Amino acid sequence: RSDMDTFDVLVIGGGPAGYVAAIRAAQLGFKTACVDAFERGGKPSLGGTCLNVGCIPSKALLDSSERFEMISHDTAEHGIQVAQPQIDVSKMLARKDGVVDKLTGGVAFLFRKNKVTSFHGYGKLVRQDGQEWVVDAAGTEVKAKNVIVATGSNPRALPGVPFGGHIVENSGALQIDQVPGKLGVIGAGVIGLELGSVWRRLGAQVTILEAMPGFLMAADDAIAKEALKQFQKQGLDFHFGVKIGEIKQDDSGVTVTYEENGSQVTAQFDKLIVSIGRVPNTGGLNADGVGLALDERGFVKVDQHYRTNLPGVYAIGDVIGGAMLAHKAEEEGVALAEMIAGQAGHVNYDVIPWIIYTSPEIAWAGLTEKQAKERGLNVKTGQFPFSANGRALGHGDPRGFVKVVADAQTDKLLGVHMIGGGVSELIGEIVAIMEFGGSAEDLARTIHAHPTLSEVVKEAALAVDKRAIHM
Ligand code: FAD
């Protein structure tokens, strides 16, 4: 087949890992293609989970619901009188869909701009042919010198409880077409907290069932404790250490039986969101057929250079595990394209920002105090509250604080943890300073504009050596 198209780089999957790898590969001069199967409303839609049914639509709904809550509850103290607001859920969903359309269309535009050939449908490894791979790209056989597997992840279902009807995963939870009276959420992780918050703000009574004994166990203890207090105050009803039993649904809703503190509880919900983690998506790849090695949990096995066991086949993003985050996936996309070009691509896994877009928001980078101590490090910490910050008071949102964890000997920043309004935007400077190996002193000596929320970051760094000015 000498007429078969040959690409330098062929990417399977057009999510944050895959589309970014494709664009970077094209920028580096490679003849590049991307094959992606995702469809929205029956049409191809690039951008993967993140743009279509993850990061972007969830943030759009969080924004709408936060506005609704603010208008409902927070205007009177500003002297603003408003009649009780009404939510038009279909309009809210249409706005969210518009945001998604703009961004997924943007990826298609970037592919055209960078001359990335785009195939719509499944990509499947067929066979190795000399130094090249034959790939079935949406029904067209093409050849590729390098294949990048970036097929992402799918929501994990509870054993014996398929998604459908009133039992929804992330996609379904982003399309609920009227505010449920009673909403159950299984899993108190990032996705459960964000989606639970959306529907609570709009009036649902939200119950969150979590198997783990504690809350946000990956976060710093001080942050998790404050977050739980704030979320409970908002009316989220948490149950920890529960063991889920039978789940049944009929036309009117879902019945969940669970065990809590040794007793059997039966709860009735109008909708149930199951957010108990994500599983790697390798189904359509023909992994077995070509002998692509997966680990015991189904993730594609890679080395430090994202090489799989098959020569010329690489994998990145959610499908290789680690932090299942869009920005981690994107960085791997850039790094891998550069490695294929013989450059020194690199991802610093020690400084990945983690963000939960609830209200208050939660953000951190680096080690928690406990993790640092477990590593035998001698730590010092500084904490400063938003309640002592002029801008936060002006906003009417004094909740939360910033906590800085530094090495007691060297003063190097080990981790910074935040809870408060707008902290998703404050974590950026921390990541930059930590990337340069900066110290608490570097953060404390950097001028932060007044009045801004960022002054809390500076004060928390000063507090490490007990010299915060405004406390
Ligand atoms: P994906 O985005 O899953 O993309 C994989 C793509 O490959 C999909 O389009 C899929 O259809 C396609 N595909 C699979 N198999 C094949 C095949 N054989 N052939 C062709 N195409 C195939 N992360 C953040 O960083 N910030 C957030 O705020 C955030 N919010 C989230 C909210 C929700 C509700 C969810 C579910 C996730 C969220 N995430 C967030 C996680 C983020 O979406 C993922 O980490 C990210 O999408 C992973 O990117 P990826 O490219 O590896 O995979």
pLDDT tens for each residue of 114-153: 999 999 999 999 999 999 999 999 999 999 999 999 999 9
In this prediction, residue 3 has a pLDDT band, given cuts at 50, 70 and 90, of: low
Question: Six-digit token pair at 428?
Answer: 């950026």
**Conformation bin of residue 60: beta by default, left when phi > 0, alpha when psi is -120 to 50:** alpha
Cα angle for residues 120, 126, 130 (degrees, 5° grid): 120
State yes or no: pLDDT of 2 exceeds 70.
no
| HEC letters along the chain | CCCCCEEEEEEECCCHHHHHHHHHHHHCCCCEEEEECCEECCEECCCHHHHHHCHHHHHHHHHHHHHHHHHHHCCHHHCCCCCCCCCCHHHHHHHHHHHHHHHHHHHHHHHHHCCCEEEECCEEEEEEECCEEEEEECCEEEEEEEEEECCCEEECCECCECCECCEECHHHHCCCCCCCCEEEEECCCHHHHHHHHHHHHCCCEEEEECCCCCCCCCCCHHHHHHHHHHHHHHCCEEECCCEEEEEEEECCEEEEEEEECCEEEEEEECEEEECCCEEECCHHHCHHHHCCCECCCCCECCCCCCECCCCCEEECHHHHCCCCCHHHHHHHHHHHHHHHCCCCCCCCCCCCCEEECCCCEEEEEECCHHHHHHCCCCEEEEEEEHHHCHHHHHHCCCCCEEEEEEECCCCEEEEEEEEECCHHHHHHHHHHHHHCCCEHHHHHHCCCCCCCCCHHHHHHHHHCCCCCCCC
Of 169, 131, 142, nearest to 281 by C-alpha is 169
d(CA 306, CA 467): 45
Question: Six-digit token pair at 214?
Answer: 């504690």
- Distance between first and last Cα of the chain: 74
Q: How far is CA 290 from CA 12, 79, 130, 149, 373, in A?
A: 15, 67, 14, 13, 45
pLDDT tens for each residue of 22-65: 999 999 999 999 999 999 999 999 999 999 999 999 999 999 99
**Residue 49 alpha carbon, nearest atom of ligand 1:** 2
Ligand 1 site, residue 317, Cβ cutoff 6 A: yes
Whole-number pLDDT of residue 331: 98
pLDDT tens for each residue of 81-102: 999 999 999 999 999 999 999 9
Catalytic residue of the set 73, 346, 450, 470: 450
| Averaged confidence pLDDT in the chain | 97
Ligand 1 site, residue 284, Cβ cutoff 6 A: yes
State yes or no: pLDDT of 233 exceeds 60.
yes
For ligand 1, atom 16, name the residue with the nearest CA.
151
State yes or no: pLDDT of 191 exceeds 90.
yes
Contact assessment for residue 366 and residue 449, using Cβ atoms and an 8 Å cutoff:
no
In this prediction, residue 4 has a pLDDT band, given cuts at 50, 70 and 90, of: confident
**Residue 122 alpha carbon, nearest atom of ligand 1:** 19
* Close Cβ partners of 94 (under 8 Å, ≥ 6 residues apart): none
Write the single-letter amino acid at 467: R
Contact assessment for residue 146 and residue 312, using Cβ atoms and an 8 Å cutoff:
yes
Question: Which amino acids are annotated as binding site for FAD, given as ranges?
Answer: 59, 123, 151-153, 318, 324-327
Among 20, 43, 49, which residue has the most ligand 1 atoms within 8 Å of its CB, making it the best to mutate?
A: 49
* Close Cβ partners of 110 (under 8 Å, ≥ 6 residues apart): 19, 23, 116
**Chain position carrying tokens 């969903």:** 93
For ligand 1, the distance from its centroid to the CA atom of residue 361, given in whole angstroms, is 22
pLDDT tens for each residue of 44-55: 999 999 999 999
Residue 450 bears catalytic tag: yes
Determine phi and psi for 55, rounding to 5 degrees.
-50, -55
pLDDT tens for each residue of 370-381: 999 999 999 999
Strand partners of residue 108: none
For ligand 1, the distance from its centroid to the CA atom of residue 441, given in whole angstroms, is 38
